Each structure stands twice: as structure tokens, then as C-alpha cells.
Structure 1
Amino acid sequence: MSSSDRQYDLVVWGATGVAGRLTAEYLTEQYTPDSLSLAIGGRDEDRLRAVESELVDRSDDWEELPIVIGDATDPESLRDLAERTRVVCTTVGPYTTYGTPLVEACIEAGTDYCDLTGEVNWTREIVDEYHDAAVAAGTRIVHSCGFDSVPADLGTLLVQSFAMEEFEVPCRQVRIYVEDTAGGVSGGTLASAAELFEAASKDPDVRKVLGNPYSLAPPGEREGVDPGEQRLPRKDPLRSTWTAPSPMAPVNERVVRRSNALLDYPWGRDFRCTEVIPTGRGLGGAATAGVVAGGLGLFTLAMSIGPTRSALKRFVFPDPGEGPSDEQMEKGHFSVRTRGQGVTEDGPFTVDAVIGADRDPGYGGTARMLGESAMCLVEDDTDSPLDGGVLTPASAIGEPLADRLRAVGFTASASVAEESR
């Protein structure tokens, strides 16, 4: 079946969860039935009907939303889902547990796919098992289309595109600064983190994946000059500020390196990237960096110990499907700055890109990033040279995603850094 014969343009899979519902809500606010054939999917028909009723009641344009019933553990129902739509947009995690059969179904059906995963070990499995099949099928499997890892991946692409346009050479290194975030964390996100720690505690191969900065690069190219994420407080080499490790760095840095590899190394094989949290200048900045690094270290230690991890999941973490309150999401915002440095015959230069929004990064912002990533696939609105494979936002879509995010209120800009003016 060709993609033009499909019943739907797009199915939001997992629409009864927090992220899925918000993504469906965003799409019904931003698009009309005349411009998008949309359906919502999941395994619980009653809950899906409730979501549909809520979304239709809020909308002036949508009188109904078709519902697709299936089960993440039933390959036959997933094949039926994939064959009925041009694109699947899935928020059903942990992906290590529930993601692989849907990827397989999409490749078999020639259906494009995007998700929110930050599970590096699972992404590596999909790369190794399915990249070649996805290339052969001309199917785009696009991981990490939310806060992990659009701001880092797309920000790096904007920095490098601007550097090439203005200076005719790419930046040798980029540093990604999670400057300002406010919002809540869902049970699903924490469940995915727990799944990752559980896998690492049992499987030495998973530990190797998490220990290799190039673990998401293509086979045979999984080594290089970049030492990987920052683990201790450090005075930043590109800014006059102290920085602490970022909890998202193990995901986002590897996604950026995969983008560089998939695009055939336009930024060079000696390209380096690091994601950090800036904490300020002087003694206060140093102290804050130490507190952040220490807190992240304690959390990592607690999650690495089985009984402690189980206790956190049982007594502290919200249940999967639960998320922050509407008030938390309304007050949320984020700003991620990517700074790149390169060298020409005239000397060094520095370029900045900023991606941000007045939205909760994990939900309001992520719903828009995921929704617009899916729409880029639906409308084939990309500048990518790649027709298929296990891809990243920058390598699968590119700058058209930045254009779409600007159009819905995001900041997504690049310029010469203040220090270079």
C-alpha cells in the first residue's frame, strides 16, 4: 500500500497518556480536518473516547476524531495501525519495553515514525537492528523529537549552518547550555529513567553503550576525539561562568554526534559537543555548580542500587501516565543556548543559537516539538538528503523544523555571539 492510499495522515499513539493527549490537543488546535487527517490511538477504547470528547469540545473545527485501537504488545494490531497511516507519532514508553514492535511494524508498512525516547540503550538497539531495513524501505524512524533532543540537535544544526554561511567553515566545538527551565516531570519520564538504570545494572553491553560517547554512531565509527559528557563542576571554556553536568547530556550529546555522522560529517570528524547547566560566576556560581553536580551524582547513585530504585519508583515517583499540573505547565518555560566556536584564517569566531519557548519543556514545549516533527514527515517538509533510516531530528528534518517552531511562538535563532561582535 502506498502512503497516498492510507486512511490517515497521522496517528498519535498513546493519546491517553499526558504527552500523547497534549500532542493531540496541540494538533487539533493548530490544524483543521481539511489540512490533516488525524486519528488518536491506544489500547483502552473508553479512555480514548474520553480524550476524543474533550478535544472535540475544545475545538471549533473538529467534530470528531477517529480512534485506532491496538496494543503495544500485540504485533498484529501494530501492523494494522501502521498500514492505516502515513506517519505514527508515539508517546508510549518506556520504549525499551514497548517501542520495538511498533518500529518493526512501521518499517514493514513503509510508515514514517517519530517518538520522544531518551533511552540511549534502546535507540542503539534500533540503530543496530533496523537502520539498514529502514533505509531499504525508505522509512524514516526519527527518535528523540521532544525536549530530548530537539533543542540540542536543532540548535547545533542552526549554529553550524550559520557558521558555514557567515564564515565558510563549521564550528570545531559546540557547548549546549540549558540556561533556564521551569516545569514538571511525569511518571512516564521517570519510568523510562528507571528502565535505563535497570538495564544497565543487569547487562554489561548496556553499560558499554552508556559509557561510549559515540555509541549512537554507525557501526565501525564508534570512536573519536570527544571524551563525552562533563561530570564535575567546571569553569566554562567559552563563557565566563561556572557550569554543572546536565542530566540530559548522555542522550543529547550522542544524538548530536549521530546527526553529524548521518549527514556525512559536515562538521568534521574532530567535532566535539558538550551539554551543561550554567550556574553563574564567581564563588556563588562555583558553589551552585557543586550542589547541582552533587545532587545529580546522588540521584545517579540511588537509581543504580536496586532496592533504592524500587523504593523511589514505589513511593516517590508518580505513576506512568501522570504528569505535572496544569498550573505547572502554564508557568513552564525553557531556553537552551548552543554556542559554537570555529577558526578561520582571520582568527576564531563564536556563534550562538537559542531555542526556547514560554511552555513547560517536558509537556507544552515537547507536544509542539513532537507535533511539528510529525507534520514535517506528513508534509515531507524537510531539507534532509536522507530518505530513510534510523534518524535524528537534525538529520531527518533539518531547518524546516526550526521554521515551524518559530511560526508557533518558539525562539529559534542563530547569530554571531556577543563576545565576537
Structure 2
Amino acid sequence: MDRDFDIIVFGATGYVGRLIAAELLRSAPEGTRLALAGRDDSRLRQAAQGLGHPQLPVVVADAFDAQALSRMAARTTVVVSTVGPYVKYGMATAGACAAAGTHYVDLNGEVLFARDVIDAFDRPARSSGATLVTACGFDSVPSDLGVLVAATTAREAGAGELLGTTMHLRSFSGGMSGGTIDALRTQIDASRHGVRTPGRSSSDPYALSPDRDAEPEPRGRRNSVIWLETSRDTREFAAPFFMARYNEQVVRRSNALLGWAYGRGFRYREAQDTGKGAKGLVKALGIGAALPAFVISLATPGLRQVADRLLPAPGQGPSEESRANGHFTIEVHADTTGGQRVVATVADERDPGYEGTAVMIGEAALALAAGQGLTTGVSTPAAALGLPYAQRLRERGFTITGAVSPG
């Protein structure tokens, strides 16, 4: 079917939407047909003007207008959705894409939305030939590709499958937007009031699995506030990583979608390294205390009002100067059935939640627009885009490597 556009950025007047549109204008191959979409025509035209491309086509669509969303989806090969919180605003957009055979990527970090999209649209998307890929930003591309590269490295070296695997956040500097905060508020509310059954509860480690009954029960220190990693890993104190739960669920889904390519004995968790000695211990304790306190502040009505006055509002985000200092490095350390150890590294010198995320989702959209998707249905970055996607990111300046060492 002939489409008017290759990629539509839906939510292009928002903070992150503008960054993604700017990234695509810089990096898309010549001839790529890009359009901006949102609910306000005048704001869309202002956004196009601000991007230095006043001639960019605009498409007016509201997240609650099913007919407008269907028309939008039918006009493009790929929709990049930045309209969140997704559990509140995203279902109709994903559904329109699944029905129209239009590929879809988003920045979702909300497990209940991801589960709802899987349940509602996986089968229709497979029937229409659409690929719906959630979590195409810092949630959860580095984790997902890091484990994929680790498993591939192990297999190619004859080291077998992965066993106990830990993602370490080794370094991180980045900001947080009002939209991210709003998504967290909405996720907390949905988790508190939603149906809490296996496959539906946000705390289920296999909430996104395509076959929950086939999955093992998790083992290890899932609830530890701090721990000292073994000498085979980083030998640093570590705290809970604030994105760990969702990333872990996405990575486990990838393993299942890939036919348990990482192994039936694959066990996965994530941690944030804080350093060695007393300084590392104090930092780990501080993060371990601050994270639950932050969640409690958003979950408690009186405290939420105070937090709302201090936190950025939707549409707001860090300054360009602040974003310029962003970077991240993760390492995936894994035991293998062959007795060796494998380490995969994913790193970038851009703000992970903004410029880095814009590159991640932009390259995912470009890959799908070019017909490089590996599967249809509701998928993950690793399962839908695979190693060619990792190579795309390398070509954009990301470090993505894997190495095997004796056990």
C-alpha cells in the first residue's frame, strides 16, 4: 500500500517529540518523508517553524479521536508515538497502527500499558503485518541490546547459553522531564487500582511474557537494598536501579520471543554501581532509601501535592546546557553454560533520556521504514530489530561490544 509519509512523529509539539523530530531531520536519509502530528494545527506549524523546516507536513489527530488516529495511521509507514502517559493516552494509537498495518514505536516504560497492548493488539498486528515496538528509548534499548549482544557473543565463541546475568549501570548523567514524572504518577495509580493478577501486576517479573506458565520463578536478591558484587563482576557496592523492574520484564520477554535463545536457565537482574569503599556504601544506602521515598511521595495524596510543586510539569525538561553533559555506560555480565564469562558494554556520550533516546527511537523508526523489521506483532527492540539495529546505533556513535573470558 502506498503511503503519504515514511514516518510521522505523533506528539511533535512536546518536549521529547521536538527532540525526536529534530534528530530525524538531521539523520534520516535524503528523501525520507517526515510529518509532524498532534492535536493542535497552529502549535504543529510553530514546531515545524522552530525546527527550521516550516514546509514540514502536519497531521492533526487527538489521542482520543479514533477516526483521526485511523486516518493518521493509514497515511504513514511508521508512527513514532511520544504522547504519554501511554496507559492514559496510548492505546488507541497503538490499536490504529495494528489495524492499518502501520509500524509503531514508542518510549513506553509502563508495564501495564505494555501488557494491555500485547493482549489487545499482538494478534491484529500479526494479521496486518505491523510491528509494534514499545520501549525504544533508554527504557529499554541499552538493556535489551546489551543482553542480545552478550548472548550472541557467547554463542559465537562456543560458550553456550546465558545463566545468571546482571546489568550494571556503571555511569550515568541525565535529566528527567515532566512527562517522565507524569508517566510515573499514572503508572503508580494504575498499579494501585488495576487488576492485580499474574501477567497484569506491574511487580510480576514475567508480566510481559508471551507464555507466563513456561517461565521459571526468579531467583536471587531481587529485594536487596545493597549488595557487594562478586569479584567476577565489578566488585563495587550497588543500589537498586530505578528502571530495573521494567527493563528486566522487557529483556525476559525478548528471551521468550526469540525462542529462549538466551537459554532456559537465563536469570536476569539490574543494579546501579555506586563505587568502592565507604563512599560507595553510603551512596548505595542513599539511593536505596531515596527511591522508595520518591515513589511514596507520588503515591500519597498529601505528599504528591508537595512533590508536584517541586518537580517539572509535563512539557518541561532539562536545559540544552544540562543535556550537553549527559552520558551513560552499562555492562552486562553473564555466566554461561560453557563455564566462561561474557561481558557486553553499551555506552553513549549523549543525555540518555533525551538526545540519546532520540537517536535510539529515531533509528528504530528508520529501520522499520526501510523494511528491516525481523518480526510482526507486539515485540521488543531486541526481538523486532536485532543486531542490525545495534549496528545502526554503532554508526551513530554508540559503543556496543561483547567479549568472552575464562570463568
TM-score tier after normalising by the smaller chain length = over 0.9
Counterpart of 1:19 in structure 2 is: 16
Q: CA deviation at 1:222?
A: 6.5
Q: Is the 8 A contact 2:35 2:57 kept in 1?
A: yes
Please tell me the residue identity of whatever aligns with 2:398: F
* 2:312 is the counterpart of 1:318: yes
Q: Is the 8 A contact 1:174 1:274 kept in 2?
A: yes
Counterpart of 1:150 in structure 2 is: 141
Counterpart of 1:233 in structure 2 is: 226
* 2:238 is the counterpart of 1:243: yes
Structure 1 residues 307 and 77: alpha-carbon distance in aligned structure 2, compared to 1, 3 A threshold: same
Q: Is the 8 A contact 1:216 1:222 kept in 2?
A: no
Q: CA deviation at 1:153?
A: 0.3
Pairing partner for 1:394 from 382, 386, 391 = 382
Q: Is the 8 A contact 2:206 2:212 kept in 1?
A: no
Q: CA deviation at 1:31?
A: 2.3
* 2:354 is the counterpart of 1:363: yes
Q: Is the 8 A contact 1:194 1:309 kept in 2?
A: no
Q: Is the 8 A contact 1:200 1:206 kept in 2?
A: no
Pairing partner for 2:185 from 194, 211, 219 = 194
Pairing partner for 1:49 from 45, 52, 59 = 45
Pairing partner for 1:295 from 290, 294, 297 = 290
Instruction: Describe the superposition over 1:358-381 as per-residue Cα deviations: whole angstroms up to 9, x where unpaired.
Output: 111100100000000111111122
Counterpart of 2:301 in structure 1 is: 306
What is the distance in 1 between the residues matched to 2:330 and 2:137?
A: 13
Instruction: Describe the superposition over 1:38-86 as per-residue Cα deviations: whole angstroms up to 9, x where unpaired.
Output: 11111111221111112236xxxxx721111111110111001000001
Q: Find the residue that maps to 1:351 and give its secondary structure.
A: strand
**Structure 1 unaligned regions, length at least 5:** 58-62
Instruction: Describe the superposition over 1:176-223 as per-residue Cα deviations: whole angstroms up to 9, x where unpaired.
Output: 111111121000000000001111222242796122101110144374
Scaled by the length of structure 1, the TM-score of the pair is 0.92
* 2:257 is the counterpart of 1:268: no
What is the distance in 1 between the residues matched to 2:211 and 2:158?
A: 32
Q: CA deviation at 1:416?
A: 2.6
Scaled by the length of structure 2, the TM-score of the pair is 0.95
* 2:26 is the counterpart of 1:29: yes
Q: Is the 8 A contact 2:162 2:265 kept in 1?
A: no
Counterpart of 1:339 in structure 2 is: 333
Counterpart of 2:71 in structure 1 is: 80
Instruction: Describe the superposition over 1:109-148 as per-residue Cα deviations: whole angstroms up to 9, x where unpaired.
Output: 1100000000011111111222122222221110000000
Alignment of 1:209-220 (within 5 A): 209-220=201-212
Pairing partner for 1:138 from 111, 129, 132 = 129
* 2:364 is the counterpart of 1:373: yes
Pairing partner for 2:176 from 181, 185, 201 = 185
What is the distance in 2 between the residues matched to 1:30 and 1:322?
A: 25
Alignment of 1:67-146 (within 5 A): 67-146=58-137
What is the distance in 2 between the residues matched to 1:301 and 1:52?
A: 39
Q: CA deviation at 1:408?
A: 1.1
Higher mean alpha-carbon deviation, 185-194 vs 327-336, is at 327-336
Structure 1 residues 77 and 211: alpha-carbon distance in aligned structure 2, compared to 1, 3 A threshold: same
Q: CA deviation at 1:311?
A: 3.3
Please tell me the residue identity of whatever aligns with 2:295: T
**Structure 2 unaligned regions, length at least 5:** none
Q: Is the 8 A contact 1:82 1:106 kept in 2?
A: yes
Q: Find the residue that maps to 1:210 and give its secondary structure.
A: coil
What is the distance in 1 between the residues matched to 2:247 and 2:229?
A: 19
Structure 1 residues 230 and 166: alpha-carbon distance in aligned structure 2, compared to 1, 3 A threshold: farther
Q: Find the residue that maps to 1:148 and give its secondary structure.
A: coil
What is the distance in 2 between the residues matched to 1:324 and 1:230?
A: 31
Structure 1 residues 135 and 351: alpha-carbon distance in aligned structure 2, compared to 1, 3 A threshold: same
Pairing partner for 2:278 from 279, 283, 299 = 283
Q: Is the 8 A contact 1:230 1:274 kept in 2?
A: no
What is the distance in 2 between the residues matched to 1:375 and 1:274?
A: 30
Instruction: Describe the superposition over 1:238-286 as per-residue Cα deviations: whole angstroms up to 9, x where unpaired.
Output: 3312111001001100000000011111112221111100112233322
Counterpart of 1:160 in structure 2 is: 151
Counterpart of 2:5 in structure 1 is: 8
Q: Is the 8 A contact 2:148 2:382 kept in 1?
A: yes
Please tell me the residue identity of whatever aligns with 2:323: M
What is the distance in 2 between the residues matched to 1:114 and 1:266?
A: 24
Please tell me the residue identity of whatever aligns with 1:330: A
Q: Find the residue that maps to 1:177 and give its secondary structure.
A: strand
Please tell me the residue identity of whatever aligns with 1:287: V
Q: Is the 8 A contact 2:28 2:366 kept in 1?
A: no
Q: Is the 8 A contact 1:235 1:243 kept in 2?
A: yes
Q: Find the residue that maps to 1:172 and give its secondary structure.
A: strand
Counterpart of 1:60 in structure 2 is: none
- Sequence identity (%): 38
Aligned residues: 403
Please tell me the residue identity of whatever aligns with 2:137: G
Counterpart of 1:170 in structure 2 is: 161
